[in-house]
Structure 1
Amino acid sequence: MRVRDWDRAWHAVPLAVLAVATVLAVAGSAAPPSALAVTVALAVATALWHGWMVMAHPHWPERALAPMAVYFAGLLALSWVLSARHPAYALLVVACFPMAFVALPGRYAYLGVAATGLLVLGDPFALSASGGLWPKVPAALASVVLAAFIGWIVRAMEAEVGRRRAANQALEEANARLARLGEENAALQGELLAAARRTGVAGERGRLAREIHDTVAQGLAGIVTQLEAAEEVASDPEAVRRRLAIARGLARESLTEVRRSLDDLRPGPLAASRLPDALAALVSGWGETHGVPPTLTITGTARLLHPEVEVTLFRAVQEALSNVARHARARKTVVTLSYMEELVVADIRDDGVGFTPSEADGFGLTAMRQRVGRLSGEVEVESAPGRGTAVSVSVPAIPAAGEGESP
Structure 2
Amino acid sequence: MLRIDVWDRAWRILPLVLLGVAALIAVTDPSVPPRDRAVTAALSAAVAVWHWWMVLAHPHWPERTLAPMALYFAGFIVLTWALFSRHPVYGLLVLACFPTAFATLPGRYAYLGVAATAIVIVGGPLALLDAGDPWPIVLALSGAALAAFIGWSIRALETEVKRRNAANRALESANRALESANLRLAQLGEENAELQGKLLAAARQTGVAGERGRLAREIHDTVAQGLAGIVTQLEAAEEAANDAETVRRRLAVARDLARESLTEVRRSLDDLRPGPLAETRLPEALSALVSGWGAANELPATLTVTGTARLLHPEVEVALYRAVQEALANVTRHAGAGKIGVTLSYMEDVVVADVRDDGVGFTPSEAGGSESGGGGFGLTAMRQRVVRLAGNVEVESAPGQGTAISVTVPAIPAAAEREAT
TM-score bracket, normalised by the shorter chain, equals 0.5 to 0.7
Match of 2:195 in 1: 195
CA distance change for structure 1 residues 19 and 359 in 2, over 3 Å: closer, same or farther? same
Match of 2:299 in 1: none
TM-superposition CA deviations, 1:34-53 (whole Å, max 9, x none): 22111111111111111111
- RMSD of equivalent CA atoms: 4.3
Are 2:418 and 1:390 equivalent residues in the alignment? yes
Deviation at 1:359, TM superposition (A): 2.5
Are 2:150 and 1:150 equivalent residues in the alignment? yes
Instruction: Tell me the TM-score normalized by structure 1.
Output: 0.53
- Rounded to whole Å, the distance in 2 between the matches of 1:81 and 1:55 is 22
Match of 1:207 in 2: 207
Structure 1 counterpart of 2:38, which letter? Answer: A
Are 2:73 and 1:72 equivalent residues in the alignment? yes
- Contact 1:61–1:102 (Cα < 8 Å) also in 2: yes
Match of 1:109 in 2: 110
Match of 2:119 in 1: 118
Q: Where do residues 3-402 of structure 1 align in structure 2 (5 Å cutoff)?
A: 3-123=4-124, 133-208=133-208, 355-356=312-313, 359=316, 384=413, 389-392=417-420
- Rounded to whole Å, the distance in 1 between the matches of 2:7 and 2:416 is 79
- Rounded to whole Å, the distance in 1 between the matches of 2:76 and 2:279 is 100
Deviation at 1:57, TM superposition (A): 1.2
Deviation at 1:132, TM superposition (A): 7.3
CA distance change for structure 1 residues 392 and 60 in 2, over 3 Å: closer, same or farther? farther
TM-superposition CA deviations, 1:362-397 (whole Å, max 9, x none): 899x99xxxxxxxxxxxxxx9845x6953247xxxx
Percent identity over paired residues: 44
Deviation at 1:154, TM superposition (A): 1.0
- Rounded to whole Å, the distance in 2 between the matches of 1:79 and 1:31 is 18
Deviation at 1:123, TM superposition (A): 4.2
Deviation at 1:104, TM superposition (A): 0.5
- Rounded to whole Å, the distance in 1 between the matches of 2:42 and 2:317 is 105
- Contact 2:316–2:412 (Cα < 8 Å) also in 1: no
CA distance change for structure 1 residues 57 and 169 in 2, over 3 Å: closer, same or farther? same
- Rounded to whole Å, the distance in 1 between the matches of 2:279 and 2:62 is 87
Secondary structure of the residue aligned to 1:390 is helix
- Contact 1:84–1:123 (Cα < 8 Å) also in 2: no
Deviation at 1:189, TM superposition (A): 3.1
Contiguous gaps of at least 5 residues in structure 2? 220-264, 281-309, 320-383, 389-410
Secondary structure of the residue aligned to 2:164 is helix
Q: How many residues align?
A: 257
- Contact 1:328–1:388 (Cα < 8 Å) also in 2: no
Structure 1 counterpart of 2:418, which letter? Answer: A
Deviation at 1:144, TM superposition (A): 0.5
Deviation at 1:83, TM superposition (A): 0.6
Secondary structure of the residue aligned to 1:30 is coil
TM-superposition CA deviations, 1:49-91 (whole Å, max 9, x none): 1111111111111111111111100110110010111110011
- Contact 1:83–1:93 (Cα < 8 Å) also in 2: yes
TM-superposition CA deviations, 1:198-249 (whole Å, max 9, x none): 1221231343356579879xx9xxxxxxxxxxxxxxxxxxxxxxxxxxxxxx
- Contact 1:355–1:389 (Cα < 8 Å) also in 2: no
TM-superposition CA deviations, 1:91-141 (whole Å, max 9, x none): 1111101111111011001111111112223349x95xx997532221221
Deviation at 1:361, TM superposition (A): 7.0
Deviation at 1:31, TM superposition (A): 2.1
- Rounded to whole Å, the distance in 1 between the matches of 2:22 and 2:67 is 29
Secondary structure of the residue aligned to 1:391 is helix
Contiguous gaps of at least 5 residues in structure 1? 220-252, 258-318, 330-352, 368-381, 394-407
- Rounded to whole Å, the distance in 2 between the matches of 1:390 and 1:213 is 25
Instruction: Tell me the TM-score normalized by structure 2.
Output: 0.52
Structure 2 counterpart of 1:359, which letter? Answer: V
Secondary structure of the residue aligned to 1:116 is helix
- Rounded to whole Å, the distance in 1 between the matches of 2:94 and 2:158 is 24
CA distance change for structure 1 residues 33 and 389 in 2, over 3 Å: closer, same or farther? same
